[in-house]
Amino acid sequence: MAHELNDTYPVRPPSICALLAQAIDSAGDAILIIDANDRVVWANRAFARLSGFQPHEVIGEHCATLRAQTSPADCYSALRHSQPSHMGTWQRELCSVRRDGTTYIADEIVTPLWDQGGKLTHFVAVLHDVTRSKEALQKERLLASQDMLTGLAGRARVTELLTSAIAEAQQSGRILSVLFVDLDGFKKINDSHGHSVGDAVLKAVASRLQSVIRCSDTVARFGGDEFVILLPTVASRRVARRIGMHAVDQLSQPFAVGIGRHSLSASVGLAFFPEHGRSSESLLNSADEAMYRAKRQGGSQFQVADLAAEPMHHGRFREISAVEHSADLNGSHTDERGNPGTLVGG
Q: How far apart are CA 301 and CA 46, in angstroms?
A: 63
pLDDT at 7 over 60: no
pLDDT of residue 220: 95
Structure confidence at residue 317 as a pLDDT band (50, 70, 90): low
**Residues 77 and 70 sit within 8 Å (Cβ to Cβ):** no
pLDDT at 288 over 70: yes
pLDDT tens digits, residue range 242-261?
A: 999 999 999 999 998 876 78
Lowest mean pLDDT among 49-53, 187-191, 279-283, 302-306: 187-191
Structure confidence at residue 95 as a pLDDT band (50, 70, 90): confident
Residue type, 123: F
Structure confidence at residue 302 as a pLDDT band (50, 70, 90): very high
pLDDT at 83 over 70: no
| Calculated CA dihedral for residues 140, 146, 148, 151, nearest 10 degrees | -170
Dmax (CA) for the chain in angstroms is: 90
pLDDT at 319 over 50: no
pLDDT at 75 over 90: no
The residues, ordered by sequence, that sit 6+ positions from 214 with a Cβ below 8 Å of its Cβ are none
pLDDT of residue 93: 87
> Model pTM?
0.57
